[in-house]
Amino acid sequence: MSPSEAKNRIASLGAELKQHSYSYYVLAMPTISDFDFDKKLEELGRLEKEFPEFADPDSITQKVDGYITKEFITIKHKWPMLSLGNTYNEQELLDFDQRIKKAIGDSFEYVCELKFDGLSMSLTYEDGKLVRAVTRGDGIQGDDVTMNVRTINTIPKRLHTGSYPDHFEIRGEVFMHLKAFERLNTERIENGELPYANPRNFASGTIKMQDSAEVAKRPLDCFLYFLYTDRSLFKTHWESLEAVKSWGFHVNEHSRLCSDINGVFAFIKEWDKRRFDLSYDIDGIVIKVNSLGQQEELGFTAKSPRWAIAYKFKAEQAETELLSVSYQVGRTGAVTPVANLRPVFLAGTTVKRATLHNADEIEVRLKLHEGDWVYVEKGGEIIPKITGVNLDKRKTGAAAISYITHCPACGTLLERKEGEAAFYCLNDEGCPPQIVGKMQHFIDRKAMNIDGLGDETIETLYQKGFISHISDIYSLKDHSDDLKKMDRFGEKSITNMLDGIEKSKEMPFDKVLFGLGIRYVGATVAKKLAVHFKNIDSLASASLEELTTAEEIGERIALSIMEYFANEGHKAEIAKLMAQGLQFASEEKEVTLASNTLAGQTFIISGVFEKYSRDELKDIIEQNGGKIVSSISAKLNYLVAGENMGPAKLEKAQKLNIPIINDDQLLEMIGG
């Protein structure tokens, strides 16, 4: 693949995966199968490694999937709720096993657990009392759903036995048993309500309800599977499971301790058959390194623990008729084809649509014709992949399906650069979905986070002619009387919306910068730019050389920024937003260090320590002017080593003659 092809493929994959993630976590309406999502994520990660100059620092490969609703109080997780890497075949499990051995040697065990298809939950206990229940959210912070979780009978509200610590957190999965799902869904149908697609969505929808009395009427269950404490109480994960079980927590009885990867394979084979006998859905097996010390040594990527992986069971298949192909236009102008199918029941849900990705999928790989009977495969979610066509059922004279030539929204001729998969509508200033998409991006929680103003409202206001640019959002206060004449726009909702718009003017510079929608400038890049350039004028006037001196800003991002600010329309928008009082400069904050003793020194922390956690040692180093780095190189000043550190890391440090110190020696360096 050429650099140009890679650049465009990375951009299109990133945008597509973010949309799929939003549909899954916010709308509870998945638009792609687990398998297809994971394969696209894998492809994106591979391309970003091969072409790092095109990798977006805010890429979904560096983030935990999930979003936070605006219906509940947002709580920051004390320990991030990371997601697991997925695999679908034995070879990838063998590769995982080899990576573990390379890092910590051959002496370790695995714990195998069923992978429940539910809603991840974090429970906090203080003095044996449940004080907080928080959803995964974006992995860093989630929704406080304590009142709803307290209605789940299998979750103890107060512990009565066991030598549990004063404060701890325990993670688990909230789910609904299949018989309860069927009964409640039948009631919804009889009441004229839309049924839920599967138990996972029903559980997710229930836990997000505002009325906990209604939640209590829906029987939810919860399995707990991981304990977090400030100080290690146990040496192994298996010991911790046995302990929390004795404290009164509902721990799944089918977990197994395995001495090697062969035991893992035997467990997977057993449950691939037995899963259909369970009263609840599972979609795979979770494999974890048993030793907690070895887990800490193996550490984490930005998104996943290196000491655990999820094996997903193979997808089920069905055959159904292709009714039509429709097309959707995204914020970037990419046009995505969608297959509309004769409804077919597959793996517990009714499938009606499948994403066809691009023109090559239709015309080259599948060679689709009108009325074709297609094979669909599902890896656990609603929208599956079309894996092939039943040519024996093709109707005589059926016309081949050709990808459209013009934008379905504005009629502009579509263009595809040589080597690219997607077709684009380049009419970004006149194509309604692109215009609406830009404004929806601006109000997103990662950008201006405007309460009372959602995606549907943006679309309605655009259709009614109230807004066509992001700056128009701040002029809505001048149209309050006209807004009251619109359907479903009551005085209270209008007041809430206008208050939310006014409050958004307090959002910091980096949020505003991200909200502008500059290509390749994600939330993380926007923060880096805001810190480096301090204000919009310095950023807008920066040269290529000046831009690339900023942390993590490469030539691709720099050129995109320069192109953005060269556009007179963009300059006019910024001027209007500045006039409305938005923040286009960073606040100067004075950072007070405990000392500068470690200034200019770099450190890596590895292993397990008796007196301090690794996070506490990291804070000590940074508060005294030192810097934590991620990998060992000749430029590293010190390796702070504890027990059970990886042999490969130790060997490399010794080979490079890097000073190896313990936590006591570190404290001596800063005088105590």
Q: What residue spans define the domains of the chain?
A: 3-62+315-393, 74-312, 432-579, 602-669
Which region, left, alpha or beta, applies to residue 81 given φ > 0 means left and ψ of -120 to 50 means alpha? beta
How many Å from the N-terminal Cα to the C-terminal Cα in the chain?
Answer: 55
Q: What is the pLDDT of residue 592?
A: 66
Q: What is the pLDDT of residue 380?
A: 45
Contact yes or no for 134/122 (Cβ under 8 A): yes
Tokens 């859905």 found at: 281
CATH number of 3-62+315-393: 2.40.50.140
Give the strand pairing for 316-329 and 638-641: unpaired
* Residue 590 pLDDT greater than 70, yes or no: no
Q: Please, which residues have CB within 8 angstroms of residue 289's CB and are 6 or more apart in sequence?
A: 100, 104, 108, 109, 110, 111, 237, 295, 298, 307, 308
pLDDT band with cut points at 50, 70 and 90 for residue 75: very high
Q: Which CATH class is domain 602-669?
A: alpha beta
pLDDT band with cut points at 50, 70 and 90 for residue 65: low
pLDDT band with cut points at 50, 70 and 90 for residue 404: very high
pLDDT band with cut points at 50, 70 and 90 for residue 381: very low
Q: 354: number of CA atoms within 13 Å, CB side?
A: 32
Q: 273: number of CA atoms within 13 Å, CB side?
A: 5
pLDDT tens per residue across span 322-372:
999 999 998 878 898 999 999 988 766 788 988 888 888 899 889 999 999
Share of the chain above pLDDT 90, in %: 50
Q: Please, which residues have CB within 8 angstroms of residue 609's CB and are 6 or more apart in sequence?
A: 617, 642, 643, 663
* Fold (CATH) for 432-579: DNA polymerase; domain 1 (1.10.150)
Sheet containing strand 167-175, strands side by side: 129-135, 119-126, 167-175, 221-228
* Residue 28 pLDDT greater than 70, yes or no: no
Contact yes or no for 297/55 (Cβ under 8 A): no
Tokens 């900023």 found at: 550
Shortest CA distance to 350 belongs to which of 214, 195, 577? 195
* Residue 264 pLDDT greater than 80, yes or no: yes
Contact yes or no for 398/370 (Cβ under 8 A): yes
C-alpha distances in Å from residue 497, one per residue of 334, 458, 473:
30, 11, 10
Contact yes or no for 480/502 (Cβ under 8 A): no
Give the strand pairing for 86-87 and 221-228: unpaired
How much is the average pLDDT of 555-573? 91
Catalytic residue among 7, 40, 115, 649: 115
Shortest CA distance to 563 belongs to which of 583, 584, 547? 547
- Write out the DSSP string of 169-208: EEEEEEE--HHHHHHHHHHHHHTTPPPPSSHHHHHHHHHT
Q: Which CATH class is domain 74-312?
A: alpha beta
What's the pTM? 0.53
Q: What is the pLDDT of residue 497?
A: 93
Amino acid (1-letter code) at residue 468: S
Q: Catalytic: 115?
A: yes
Question: What count of residues does the chain have?
Answer: 672
* Residue 11 pLDDT greater than 80, yes or no: yes
Contact yes or no for 81/124 (Cβ under 8 A): no
Q: What is the DSSP letter of 364?
A: I
Contact yes or no for 83/247 (Cβ under 8 A): no
Q: Rounded distance, CA 181 to CA 205, Å?
A: 12
Contact yes or no for 425/407 (Cβ under 8 A): yes
Q: What is the pLDDT of residue 382?
A: 46
Which phi and psi (to 5°) does residue 345 adopt? -85, 125
* Residue 100 pLDDT greater than 90, yes or no: yes
How many Å is the Cα radius of gyration of the chain? Answer: 27
